[in-house]
Amino acid sequence: MSSHAQIALVRHGQTEWSQSGRHTGLTDIPLTEQGRAEALAVAPAAAALAVEHVRVSPLARARATCDLLGFQDRAHVDDDLVEWDYGTLEGLTTVEIRRTVPGWTVWSHPCPGGESPAAVAARVDRVIAAARSAGGTTLVVAHGHVLRVLAARWLGLPPVGGRYFRLDTATVSLLGWERETPVLLRWNARGEVAGRERSGH
């Protein structure tokens, strides 16, 4: 494992379902025009990172975002980065789900026919292991909930720790280190992101 490894996270740009708050797991829908503009707008922040490796979800909204960031020729499609499988809750908003399951969240209640937090964590743990083994900065382009779990797991938290990391569309976040401790260096940023962070002293 390389203590110098970093992971930069980019959530895909807006889709019709992300705009309306519908849970979008494996449904393969495209970016909206605004989503494409969002991805282009955040491209300079992604370009400022010293990216050595690129991993992207196979779903169209993530791959289109990766292309608009300018990394299409370097991207490794990684099935472990697909969004959380919401099962029978796919396409529903939280308000709609809570009509029958009061207080429901993806972090605290099951997704019937879908994935558990532990199952999502097992996938992102493999992504983290690959990035730490490779060293340098790995850019990961994927989806809101799976990236929130990835952040939690990088920090050594249980997968439901992702509840604390709100993640908007077309934002750049950076996971790195302070000495030997994995830390959050940037989160949910739309502006310029430093290429590499100095280690803490």
8 A C-beta contact, residue 150 and residue 127:
yes
pTM summary value: 0.93
Q: Is 83 a catalytic residue?
A: yes
d(CA 28, CA 10): 18
Q: Mean pLDDT, to the nearest integer, of 7-13?
A: 98
Beta-bridge partners for 175: 7, 184
Residue 36: CB atoms within 10 Å:
18
pLDDT tens digits, residue range 31-66? 999 999 999 999 999 999 999 999 999 999 999 999
Of 38, 83, 90, 115, which one is the catalytic site residue? 83
Residue 5's contacts (CB-CB under 8 Å, 6 or more residues apart) are 131, 132, 133, 134, 135, 136, 137, 138
CATH number of the domain at 6-189, please?
3.40.50.1240
Q: Is 23 a catalytic residue?
A: no
pLDDT tens digits, residue range 59-68? 999 999 999 9
pLDDT tens digits, residue range 135-164? 999 999 999 999 999 999 999 999 999 999
Provide the pLDDT confidence category of residue 201 given band limits of 50, 70 and 90: very low
